[in-house]
Chain A
Amino acid sequence: MAADNRNVCRRVRRRRLVNITLLALSALGLLAAALPAAAVLTPAQRESVHCLGCHTGNAKHFTNPETGAKKDVLVDIHSKRDSDHAKVPCQDCHVEGFNGFPHEDVKIKGCMDCHPRQDAAGAKEDAPFNFPRIEREFRTSVHFTELKDKFNKDEDFITGIHFTITKTGDGFPCSQCHHPHYMKTAAELGAPGSILETHNKWCTSCHAAEPEQPVNTILGVAWSDVTDPAEPSLVAEHASLPHAAQHLQSARCVDCHSGTEHANSHELFLGSNTPGCESCHTRDSALSELYRYVKNDPAGGFTNSAILKDSYIMGATRYLLLDILGYVLLGGALLAAASYSFLRLIRRRRRHGDRGSKDE
């Protein structure tokens, strides 16, 4: 009897164990099925997870054992995942020297090592930017011409356009403005306010009265080579502009200080050598580049109505009906004056002619 009872207990326990096991496996299966595909990491992503372990989370500082310089190594992962390089794994750019710690003899790819991309989809995406033209234009700009000796064309893996990034952080790579971790194209930013804020931050991080300490973006090294801070302030530097403060609030630095032929022109003009007021204060305004992702509404009767949502620009945001009225009124007045003068001339000649024949 007792033996029978023990057997029954064993069978019940076994059945219970089987049930629990089956339940657990079913739950795991359901869970796995519910997981989105992205939760399953690719090999490249798994490699990146190794980097994120140190480069995300709580604040961390690395102290260079040789120089004693402190460096912030945190990557803002949320901004990175919101950027144009969201899906680019760390190792695609950080190609050598990063497997071990501390990272030694590192090599990082430059922007031009990938762009323009060679695969069909990437090439199609990169085509509108015209990276060869960007490089040509950059080479004419002061950021290149003033720092020519910092360039080393022989490096295979470089940061920026054929730069050697030295430990002192000299040089002006693409990443000085276009942070590879966080950059977003103007199309991604969309709103003129966001584009303006982002693009101006690139310039004012160095060219301001008290710039945030100019930092080489890659090495995070203080860079003291900036020779053109705005003294005593940006507004004072632009005092030759009427309503200088409004100009600086409403337009990007590059709207005046770069070429107007292309939306992403990298021709940077020195100082006052700018295209001129007429480039914006005209119907075909250069400022419309900032608003290229905002639809114009011709129904309101204004030209450049997208710009008018933020600013009235003399010469650019015109009320067409008033222009036409002006042409008609003033043109009509001149025509009427000319016609009437002609008529009076004829009358006078006739009158003189009549008098002359009467005298005879």
Chain B
Amino acid sequence: MSEPRPEVPAYVRLWHALTALLFISLVISGFVLHYSSPEFTLLDYGLATDLHDISGIALAVLYILYLIYIVGTGYWREYVPLLSGLGKRLLEQIRIYIADMDQNDTIAADKEKPRFNALQQLTYLIVIFGLLPLLIVTGLIYLYYPDYTPARVLDLAGLWPVALAHYALGILGTLYLITHVYMAVSGRKASARFKLMVTGRAGSDKK
């Protein structure tokens, strides 16, 4: 019998939980900051500003610590897909998700198989090493305006490219959040993946 996969490391689970909370806080406060009006506001604007700033800085610190961890322990390899046959594996995974997620959603318990499928690996790679750092950098530049932005860009106030980039990345981040939560509750048992990220053990997802 193949060796069972080790638990999801505690640090990864902790990082995941904190990042999730901070990201949800950023999405909600970001929504308030961009879409409020005197007639409708989900949250006090000043509170939303403080929440967004504090959550953003906390996320930045957490991210740097996580980077150090995954580089030091080699966990970063979980996110890197094998290039050979990647396109074919991606298409196959998309077909599986669309055709019938229930049939093929078993969490791989075998250590020999990759922890994530090709689509998951590519998505996490883009999010962890692309989307998140860009969001953090644009957010910090925005926070410390006007120190790191030009005075004017195309004869307009110089903050607009950074602000637009941060907003666009925020939309993509929110899109990822919706998709990620949906995928997490998909499967024969909605709680299976949540249990994985809390206890670290794959358990059984068969009803």
Contacts and interface: CB of A to CB of B under 8 A. Distances in A.
A319 interface: yes
A249 to B, nearest CB: 10
A311 B157 contact: yes
Interface string B151-169: 0000111011001100110
A276 interface: yes
Contact of B163 (A300, A314, A348): A314
A115 B164 CA distance: 47
B46 A277 contact: yes
Given A281-B36, A329-B175, A337-B182, A242 B102 contact: no
A333 interface: yes
A279 interface: yes
A326 B36 CA distance: 16
A317 interface: yes
Contacts of A333: 175, 178-179
A79 interface: no
Given A243-B145, A281-B45, A330-B175, A315 B167 contact: no
Interface residues of B, number: 33
B100 interface: yes
Contacts of A312: 156-157, 159-160, 163
A309 interface: yes
Contacts of A279: 38
A277 B160 contact: no
B175 A278 contact: no
A310 B36 contact: no
B26 interface: no
Contact of A348 (B102, B155, B160, B175): B102
Interface centre among A281, A311, A347, by most chain B C-beta atoms within 10 angstroms, is: A281
A315 B35 contact: yes
Contact of B155 (A283, A309, A319): A309
Given A278-B41, A308-B157, A308-B160, A315 B102 contact: no
6 contacts: A243-B145, A276-B38, A302-B160, A309-B156, A309-B157, A333-B178
Instruction: List 6 tightest A-B contacts by C-beta distance, closest first.
Output: A277-B45, A312-B159, A282-B37, A337-B182, A326-B171, A278-B36
Interface of B: 33-38, 41, 45-46, 49, 53, 100-102, 145-146, 155-157, 159-160, 163-164, 167-168, 171-172, 174-175, 178-179, 182, 186
Interface of A: 240, 242-243, 246, 275-279, 281-284, 300, 302, 305, 308-312, 314-315, 317-319, 322, 325-326, 329-330, 333-334, 337, 341, 344, 347-348
